[in-house]
């Protein structure tokens, strides 16, 4: 479908529809390209209504250069506000890179007023963080490292067991797929933050951390369930989460065939990367981390005692199983319930506090708030993770009382559910055609 520059969003009709949202193949490169044309950043970096030239800051950015490099030419207001909890230092730096005031209004419905929900919550969270044990992040490191060691040991062992007993080997393959999914979700805990070797672990499952930083961190996290949420558009046309009156029956049937789509998601990204490299459509550089899945195959073959062809079969099966678990846990984490806000629904207003919007797109899975292992391996503690993505999952449990108290003061709430109810609600959203009205809430 050719892009229409005059098309408007449904929920926020004052804003243009993302330029390349419906253009195939959908890539993070296209998403960023569309923002560069629509954000009014004038080829530099926009924060609120000011233009900055951060070129000289790229190499010294504490979070790593990728965050600054890939966002050049776009509005990074949401990322700036949510990735810096203690803003005094960074706000003091900004005047050094100021160029001019922006000439156009922001291409976003979200506000960050000093007395609004999000900014006042951020002040409270910054104070609360000082009371948290300083070494609490080690819990996440230990879980992640343990799963990585398990992957390295069990993957060749799985190949060896298959040479002895097919049934036992199949059972271990399922276990291996679950371990890979848990490890990949753990890696997600690190890619939101400053560069770390653990973020590369996501690549073993077919997803790439560099693409995920854009499609997940900069798109889904910052523009949750809006027309600018790339994660929703990447699943289309097979799974259509947005409510549309003309949603076809076959798309509504996605409520039943989604397991098949989820299983092939990781592998499809790998194939898309290969095709993108060969055709030069992905605009992605070939880097060493993209070879990790293939190095892993060699590791399994070298130590597993299985033929290369059967090792590849086990490798593919493991990625399919892992992809299923990653997608099921990810899409029941909180944002895909039929009671949440999606593009096509009626929002509270044409402009609204970013934090309030996050609460309207969230129903938290309560069982994943009880255990750190569940939280870090199943996208748990999701409300606070979305509000403050640079915090470690081990830190989040200390902050929920602050969030709940804050919600009461702003006449909103943290909605909770169970995994099984979330799974049903996620299917209802795939079926849903009619809009929710959040002005009435």
Q: What's the average pLDDT block by block, 10 residues per block, for the chain (441 residues)?
A: 86 96 91 96 97 95 93 97 86 92 97 96 95 94 98 97 95 98 97 95 95 96 98 96 96 97 94 77 75 96 95 97 97 96 97 97 88 94 97 96 95 94 98 94 63
435, part of any domain = no
- Please report the pLDDT score of residue 370 as a whole number: 75
Rounded CA separation 433/342 (Å): 11
How many angstroms separate the CA atoms of 292 and 399, rounded? 36
SS3 52: strand
Contact by Cβ (8 Å): 258, 239:
yes
Q: What pLDDT is recorded for position 368?
A: 74
Is 42 part of any domain? no
In a domain, 202, yes or no: yes
How far apart CA 236 and CA 251 sit, in angstroms, is 9
Would you give the DSSP letter of residue 46?
Answer: E
Cβ atoms 361, 341 nearer than 8 A = yes
What whole-number distance in Å separates Cα of residue 165 and Cα of residue 163?
6
Short-list 237, 209, 206, CA closest to 327: 206
Query: Which residues are CB-neighbours of 225 under 8 A, at least 6 positions away?
Result: 232, 335, 340, 341, 342, 343, 361
Domain count, the chain: 1
Domain-located, residue 27 = no
In this predicted structure, what is the pLDDT of residue 256? 97
Find the helix packing angle between 254-263 and 419-431, rounded to 10°: 110
Is 383:362 a contact under the CB 8 Å cutoff? yes
Residue 152 lies in a domain: yes
Q: How many Å apart are CA 289 and CA 298, to the nearest integer?
A: 15
User: Residue 415: its pLDDT value, please?
Assistant: 96
In the three-class reduction of DSSP (H, G, I as helix; E, B as strand; rest coil), residue 109 is classed as coil
Give the side-chain half-sphere CA count within 13 A for 174: 5
| Owning domain of residue 324 | 138-331
In 3D space, the residue among 194, 213, 218, 203 whose CA is nearest the CA of residue 137 turns out to be 194
By the 8 A CB rule, do 324 and 259 touch?
A: yes
pLDDT computed for residue 253 by the predictor: 97
Q: Is 29 among the domain residues?
A: no
* pLDDT at residue 334, as a whole number: 94
Q: In what order do the strands lie in the sheet with 45-47?
A: 45-47, 50-52, 98-101
Judge whether 191 and 212 are in contact, CB under 8 Å: yes
Q: Is position 98 within any domain?
A: no
Tokens at 204, concatenated: 């073993």
Distances (CA, A) of 273 to 26, 55, 213, 277: 12, 28, 16, 6
Tokens 């090792």 correspond to: 311
Residue 46 lies in a domain: no
Contacts 24+ apart (CB under 8 A), 416-421: 416/363, 416/364, 416/365, 416/366, 416/369, 417/337, 417/363, 417/364, 417/365, 417/366, 418/365, 418/366, 418/367, 419/332, 419/365, 419/367, 419/368
Q: pTM for the full model?
A: 0.95
Q: Which two tokens stand for residue 301?
A: 């073959």
Residue that is written with structure tokens 């990728």 in the block: 66
Give the pairing type, strands 45-47 and 50-52: antiparallel
For residue 178, count CB atoms less than 10 angstroms from its CB and return exposed for 0-12, middle for 13-18, buried for 19 or more. Answer: middle
pLDDT score at 31: 96
Between the alpha carbon of residue 106 and those of residues 110, 351, 363, the distances in Å are 9, 11, 28
Helix (H, G, I), strand (E, B) or coil at 402: helix
């Amino acid at each position: 479908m050719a892009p229409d520059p005059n098309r408007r969003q449904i929920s926020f009709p004052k804003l243009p529809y993302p330029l390349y949202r419906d253009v195939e193949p959908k890539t993070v490169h296209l998403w960023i390209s569309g923002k560069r044309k629509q954000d009014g950043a004038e080829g530099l970096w926009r924060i609120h209504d000011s233009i900055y030239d951060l070129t000289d800051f790229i190499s010294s950015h504490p979070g790593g250069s990728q965050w600054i490099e890939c966002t050049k030419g776009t509005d990074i207001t949401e990322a700036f506000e949510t990735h810096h909890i203690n803003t005094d230092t960074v706000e003091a730096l900004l005047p050094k890179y100021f160029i001019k005031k922006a000439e156009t209004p922001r291409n976003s419905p979200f506000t960050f007023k000093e007395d609004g929900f999000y900014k006042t919550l951020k002040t409270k969270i910054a104070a609360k963080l000082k009371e948290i044990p300083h070494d609490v992040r080690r819990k996440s490191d230990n879980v992640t490292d343990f799963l990585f060691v398990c992957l390295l040991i069990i993957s060749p062992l799985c190949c060896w067991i298959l040479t002895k007993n097919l049934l036992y080997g199949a059972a271990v393959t399922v276990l291996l797929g679950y371990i890979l999914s848990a490890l990949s979700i753990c890696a997600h805990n690190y890619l939101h933050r400053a560069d770390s070797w653990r973020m590369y672990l996501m690549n073993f499952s077919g997803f790439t951390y560099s693409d995920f930083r854009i499609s997940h961190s900069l798109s889904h996290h910052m523009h949750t369930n809006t027309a600018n949420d790339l994660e929703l558009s990447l699943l289309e046309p097979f799974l259509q989460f947005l409510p549309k009156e003309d949603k076809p029956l076959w798309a509504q049937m996605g409520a039943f065939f989604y397991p098949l789509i989820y299983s092939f998601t990781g592998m499809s990204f790998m194939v898309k990367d290969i095709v993108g490299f060969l055709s030069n459509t992905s605009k992605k550089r070939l880097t060493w981390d993209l070879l990790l899945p293939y190095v892993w195959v060699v590791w399994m073959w070298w130590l597993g005692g299985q033929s290369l062809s059967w090792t590849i079969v086990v490798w593919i099966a493991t990625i399919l199983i892992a992809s299923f678990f990653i997608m099921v846990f990810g899409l029941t984490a909180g944002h895909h319930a039929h009671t949440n806000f999606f593009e096509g629904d009626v929002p509270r207003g044409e402009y609204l506090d970013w934090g309030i919007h996050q609460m309207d797109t969230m129903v938290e899975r309560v069982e994943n708030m009880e255990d750190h292992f569940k939280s870090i391996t199943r996208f748990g503690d999701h409300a606070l993770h979305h509000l403050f993505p640079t915090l470690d999952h081990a830190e989040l449990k200390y902050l929920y009382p602050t969030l709940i108290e804050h919600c009461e003061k702003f006449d909103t709430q943290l909605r909770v559910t169970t995994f099984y109810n979330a799974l049903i609600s996620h299917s209802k959203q795939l079926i849903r055609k009619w809009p929710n009205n959040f002005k009435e809430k």
